[in-house]
Amino acid sequence: MSISSQDYAAKLARLLSDTIGQLPATTVPLTHAVGQQLTADLVTQYPSPRFDNSQMDGYGVGYANLAGGRFRVGPDVPAGTDPTTIYPYGVNGYGHDTAVPIMTGAKIPDDVVAIIPVEQAAPATFVEVGDSVLLPSVDVGRFIRRAGSDMQAGARLASKGSVIDAALVATAASQAIAELPVRARPRIGVIAGGDEVVASTTPAAAKIFDANTPLIRSLAQLHNLDIVATGATSDDLRDFRGVLDGMIRDHQPDFIVTSGGISEGKYEVVRQLLERLDASWIGKVAQQPGGPQGYGVYGSTPLIALPGNPVSTLVSMRILVLPAIWQAFEAGIKPVQIQARLESSVTGIQAKTQYRRGVIGVRGTEVVAQLKGAAGSHLLAQAVGSNALLEIPPMARLQPNQTVTAHLFADTKWDAHIEPTRAVPAQPAKPHMADSHHLEDRSALVIIASTRAAAGVYTDDAGPQLVAWLQAKGYATPQALVVADHALATTMEHVLAGDYGPMPNVLITSGGTGVSPTDQTVEVIGGYLDQTMPNVMTSVLLEGLKSTPHAALSRGIAGLIGSTFVATLPGSSGGVADGISVLDGLIDHIVEQVRGKDHSR
């Protein structure tokens, strides 16, 4: 029994809360505070501005000179200079007909009640002390920023729980506040590896470079979290325990994230450890990629176990771990999801939510989303440039312009280039041709569901027979996929996810349509059909009954998955021949109808 992504993230959050508890409050320098949350109200120490100051470069005048006229110019008052050192008795003490040259931000001298911008003076420039200047009339208070006009001393600048941004940092600095009270961030350790992973940059036979440790570290940094230690393990359980013990002893992480070693293989060292712990869980999350997951408590340190394929790690961090950390501690940056208009069609898979790499951008007044790359969990390079994960619900048939949920990364930018959806131009109707070798842009896929053929017990003959027939009809058809009966469901997930390329026009399966306990084709394919076409398989049945009454034992079905025609034929060579005999005159016509073209006459 699998668990949903949202429920599992909540489960991880409870694990962290119950084992770690509330993180302590601390203080951090302003330069390290952005993105964190205040643990106490922030109160101003001084009014802002602290004193009356000039809003403009200009001339300051007193009450007697508000009507304008020609005035004698006094000494300058630059910003940062105490005006009492220049005018110790006020401006009037220097002379009632004085205009004071004052710069932006400078403290207002006594007796100055208004500022006239220098560009309004004649001449429109600062003149020497003792020279005269002609000034226009002005109102009291003009271009003077009063003390406390932004905020009074003792006022609440920001409330407890506020996320610290650049403006708050700047305002705190203007109040001579050097540190801010925040909640400590969790200390996170990361362990990745397996015998196949090397941390160096030197290639080795049958080895791969470690991409997951830099991936997790980068995601943590991006979301304002601290990785305090990293490590690597082999496939030996004692080695893994040693790495864990050393990391906990030397770095005291609040919890540890592992990558790899959690699936069903023989050398899954993380799984082996979790199975030995009293408090642990190992299972499947109903998502793709990143289904295998686990957690446990090693001593008193929580472990969160992620699958090792890089894209599975990426998805698991964004969809499961980061939301869990936020729910448990409100630490890091709160994960954000939005609704966007989809630019292309996509089909969901059975019983699992897909998280596809995507690009989010703004076109006009709309937020739009575009799929990026195929769905395979090993296709890391195809994730480059993605700024979100697009959520595809199970069995969804999303079309262009429909809404999709996009899970954003913390560095999502809105200027990403999104190619507009291109309308497919209408094609002129072609004359019907008995010889279909000239059909263009047609594709097909053949899947053979046979446990014995997949194991090599016998040679598959049905696949080559179907592929040769489809190719002869002008359908681009690769070599048949031969899979065990129990693997058909997974294979269909990959087909629908685009791992074998775009969905074909025609999908033919052979095998698994009988009543044997292992026959699953009808159930698997039936779960995906948007429309059924029972008369197609009735025709195949009638063709088969001409040769053998056993044809009646086939439960084959046919129909449409989106715009793909699907037929499930029996596994026998005779059953395949019967299917070809019937479908040979139908599939071109079906594909034409699905494409919206006129019926052939």
Question: Is the per-residue pLDDT at 531 higher than 70?
Answer: yes
User: What pLDDT, on the 0 to 100 scale, is given for residue 548?
Assistant: 92
State mean pLDDT over 165-194. 92
Give which of 424, 255, 247, 409 is closest to 336, Cα–Cα: 409
Alpha carbon separation from 210 to 192, 193, 215, 257 (Å, rounded): 8, 7, 9, 15
Cβ neighbors of 176 (< 8 A, separation 6 or more) are 45, 46
Instruction: Give residue 377's pLDDT band: very low, low, confident or very high (50, 70, 90).
Output: low
Percent of the chain with pLDDT strictly greater than 70: 94
Question: Is the per-residue pLDDT at 149 higher than 90?
Answer: yes
Instruction: Give residue 350's pLDDT band: very low, low, confident or very high (50, 70, 90).
Output: confident
User: Environment class of residue 82 by beta-carbon count within 10 Å: exposed (0-12), middle (13-18) or buried (19+)?
Assistant: exposed
DSSP E strand boundaries for 385-534? 388-392, 397-398, 403-408, 444-449, 481-483, 506-510, 531-532
User: What pLDDT, on the 0 to 100 scale, is given for residue 321?
Assistant: 97
User: What pLDDT, on the 0 to 100 scale, is given for residue 599?
Assistant: 55
Give which of 257, 324, 259, 266 is closest to 292, Cα–Cα: 259
User: Environment class of residue 204 by beta-carbon count within 10 Å: exposed (0-12), middle (13-18) or buried (19+)?
Assistant: exposed
- Per-residue H/E/C for 128-183: CCCCEEEECCCCCCCCEECCCCCECCCCEEECCCCECCHHHHHHHHHCCCCEEEEE
Q: Which residues pair with 43 in a beta bridge?
A: 156
Which of 202-216, 282-296, 423-437, 558-572 shows the lowest per-residue confidence on average (mean pLDDT)?
423-437
Pick the CATH number of 436-594 from 3.40.980.10, 3.40.630.40, 3.90.1150.10, 3.20.20.70: 3.40.980.10
The three-state secondary structure class of 359 is strand
Domains 5-23+185-329 and 436-594 share a fold: yes
Query: Left, alpha or beta for 299 (phi > 0: left; psi -120 to 50: alpha)?
Result: left
Instruction: Give residue 428's pLDDT band: very low, low, confident or very high (50, 70, 90).
Output: very low
Percent of the chain with pLDDT strictly greater than 90: 69
User: What pLDDT, on the 0 to 100 scale, is given for residue 467?
Assistant: 94
Which of 96-110, 271-285, 376-390, 501-515 shows the lowest per-residue confidence on average (mean pLDDT)?
376-390
Instruction: Give residue 1's pLDDT band: very low, low, confident or very high (50, 70, 90).
Output: low
Question: Is the per-residue pLDDT at 434 higher than 60?
Answer: no
User: What pLDDT, on the 0 to 100 scale, is given for residue 436?
Assistant: 38
User: What pLDDT, on the 0 to 100 scale, is given for residue 412?
Assistant: 77
Instruction: Give residue 163's pLDDT band: very low, low, confident or very high (50, 70, 90).
Output: confident
Residue-level length of the chain: 601
User: What pLDDT, on the 0 to 100 scale, is given for residue 207?
Assistant: 77
- State whether the Cα torsion 324-329-333-339 is positive or negative: positive
CA angle 312, 337, 397 (to 5 degrees): 70
Question: Is the per-residue pLDDT at 183 higher than 90?
Answer: no
Which of 166-170, 434-438, 591-595 shows the lowest per-residue confidence on average (mean pLDDT)?
434-438
State mean pLDDT over 18-36. 91
**485 vs 154: CA distance, rounded Å:** 73
Orientation of helix 534-545 relative to helix 573-583, angle to 10°: 120
Question: Is the per-residue pLDDT at 49 higher than 80?
Answer: yes
Average pLDDT, the chain: 90
User: What pLDDT, on the 0 to 100 scale, is given for residue 425?
Assistant: 40
User: What pLDDT, on the 0 to 100 scale, is given for residue 349?
Assistant: 83
State mean pLDDT over 125-152. 96
The three-state secondary structure class of 453 is helix
DSSP conformational letter for 355: E
User: What pLDDT, on the 0 to 100 scale, is given for residue 426?
Assistant: 38
Instruction: Give residue 208's pLDDT band: very low, low, confident or very high (50, 70, 90).
Output: confident
CB contact at 8 A, 298 and 244: yes
> Is beta strand 287-288 parallel, antiparallel or unpaired with respect to 226-233?
unpaired
* Token output for 220: 């943590």
User: What pLDDT, on the 0 to 100 scale, is given for residue 527?
Assistant: 86
The three-state secondary structure class of 8 is helix
Superfamily of domain 5-23+185-329: MoaB/Mog-like domain (3.40.980.10)
pLDDT in tens, 327-344: 999 888 889 999 999 988
User: What pLDDT, on the 0 to 100 scale, is given for residue 417?
Assistant: 66
**563 vs 441: CA distance, rounded Å:** 14
CATH 2.170.190.11 is right for the domain spanning 53-145: yes
User: What pLDDT, on the 0 to 100 scale, is given for residue 56?
Assistant: 96
Q: What is the CATH number of domain 26-48+149-183?
A: 3.90.105.10
Domain assignments of the chain as residue spans, ordered by start: 5-23+185-329, 26-48+149-183, 53-145, 337-408, 436-594
pLDDT in tens, 439-469: 458 999 999 999 999 988 888 999 999 999 9
CB contact at 8 A, 369 and 306: no
Pick the CATH number of 337-408 from 3.40.50.300, 3.40.630.40, 2.40.340.10, 1.20.1050.10: 2.40.340.10
Question: Is the per-residue pLDDT at 431 higher than 50?
Answer: no
Give 428 or 99, the one with higher predicted confidence: 99
pTM, two decimal places = 0.69
Alpha carbon separation from 57 to 60, 73, 81, 83 (Å, rounded): 9, 14, 15, 15
State mean pLDDT over 413-440. 48
State mean pLDDT over 534-545. 94
User: What pLDDT, on the 0 to 100 scale, is given for residue 264?
Assistant: 82
